[in-house]
Amino acid sequence: MTVFSHYRKALEALLGAKNPIFILLQSVDADALGSTMALVHALEKAGVQPTIFCASAIPTFLQFLVKGRVIENDGNKLNLEHYDLAIVTDAGSIHRTGIQSKLEAYVQNGGRLLNIDHHHVHEPFGTVNLIDEMASATAVLVYDILKLGGWAIDADIATSILVGIVADTDNFSNAGTTMRALTIAAECYAKGAEVRQVWRGLYRHQPLQALQLWGLILSRLERNDRWGIVATIILQEDFKRHGLSDEAIDGLANFLSSLSDTKATMVLTEILDNQIKGSLRTTRDDIDVSKLATALGGGGHKKAAGFTVPGRLVRTEQGWRIV
Ligand SMILES: [Mn+2]
């Protein structure tokens, strides 16, 4: 199949849906939510009322995108058979929806699942897949679908698309920044995207305690000379002591890429249920951090990747260790 036929099939799925449901990722990020909300706005304009589901809460700083819509969040009550199309954007893996088994059962029973993504994936999980690893953000693919389908890009759609592009290019600064991303962002600007709200939502939403927590985390930065990686760690008790949730460290992994003399950076964060989340970043062209992430059961992009491993972080004489 040509790339164009993938677009055509994705568009047909969207146009044919009378009762669709969007499944957001657990711990949804800006590109995933922006991509989904752009499609929600477009379908609503076409007279369709999509349902939106997210297995966890939408981060406060991204709620401006939702504009007061109801987000279903009870996975036990969710009956996918009720819907004629499920849509997942920017997932990388179906696991990240938090309702993998439900979605797989839905597909096995003949349900249609549209998967739009720019992550490196071996086996796309949708019945219709639009995957382009070269795209700066999933929001770029959504923009192309909307243009192909003849939708007018209004201010709400433009804001949603711009959020995805700004977040995934780290404000037009990382290697994912392309002419295509810049051109689409400019068009979103021209169509009335709420630019100030986008920047405030993504970069200017931290309270004082959050920056104090950042200070603590930055003071723990250490270089591993064997691997050439600079790393730091975040404990569950750090969040408790500062009265913050993990929203407070959003953007920290990207901020560390401002380090000049390192091959890569890694942030290890204790999350609930005895799990440790690792976020890897590099700015170097000769390093592919997704290889390390994949070896540890995760995945991602060459310059930004992540993984989750079981355990807790403990300080020993040799430094921080996972036990
Ligand atoms: Mn993305």
The two structure tokens encoding residue 323: 């036990």
**From the CA of 120, how far away is ligand 1's center (Å)?**
11
CA–centroid distance, residue 37 to ligand 1 (Å): 14
Q: Cα(177) to centroid of ligand 1, in Å?
A: 12
Give the pLDDT of residue 39.
98
What pLDDT does 55 receive? Answer: 95
Q: How far is the CA of 97 from the centre of ligand 1 (A)?
A: 14
How far, in Å, from the CA of 155 to the mean position of ligand 1? 21
The residue assigned the tokens 């597909």 is: 107
Going from the Cα of 316 to the center of ligand 1, the distance in angstroms, rounded, reads 36
Any idea where the domains of the chain sit in the sequence? 3-203, 208-322
Its CATH architecture, for the domain 208-322, is: Roll (3.10)
pLDDT at 1: 60
- Fold (CATH) for 3-203: inorganic pyrophosphatase (n-terminal core) (3.90.1640)
- Ligand 1 center to 89 CA (angstroms): 8
Output the CA torsion sign for 137, 143, 149, 155. Answer: positive
**71 CA from centroid of ligand 1 (Å):** 21
Cα 45 to the center of its chain, rounded Å: 25
Q: How far is CA 309 from the centre of its chain?
A: 19
- Output the CA 148–ligand 1 centroid distance in Å: 21
Distance CA 299, CA 302 (A): 9
Report which secondary-structure segment, H or E, holds 310: strand 304-310
Over residues 125-182, the pLDDT tens digits come to 999 999 999 999 999 999 999 999 999 999 999 999 999 999 999 899 888 899 999 9
- Structure pTM? 0.85
pLDDT < 70: residue spans in the chain: 1-2
Q: Which amino acid is at 145?
A: I
- Give CA angle at 226 (254, 283), nearest 5°: 25
Residues whose beta carbons lie less than 5 angstroms from ion ligand 1: 31, 90, 137-138, 168
| Residue 117 CA, ligand 1 centroid: distance in Å | 7
Instruction: Give me ligand 1 centre to Cα 168, in Å.
Output: 6
Angle between helices 138-148 and 3-16 (to 10 degrees): 70
Distance linking the first and last C-alpha atoms of the chain: 47
Instruction: Give, for 160, the enclosing helix (H) or strand (E).
Output: helix 155-168
Q: Residue 50: what are its φ and ψ, rounded to 5°? A: -70, 150
- The span from the CA of 32 to the CA of 12, in Å, is 21
User: How does DSSP assign 246-291, residue by residue?
Assistant: GGGGTTHHHHHTT-SS-SEEEEEEEETTTEEEEEEE---TT--HHH
DSSP string, 172-203: TTSTT--HHHHHHHHHHHHTT--HHHHHHHHH
Distance from the CA of 69 to the center of ligand 1, in angstroms? 22
* Those residues with Cβ within 8 angstroms of residue 137's Cβ, 6 or more apart along the chain or in another chain: 31, 34, 35, 90, 118, 164, 165, 167, 168, 169, 176, 181
Q: How many CB atoms lie within 10 A of CB 206?
A: 17
Residue 136 CA to ligand 1 centre (angstroms): 7
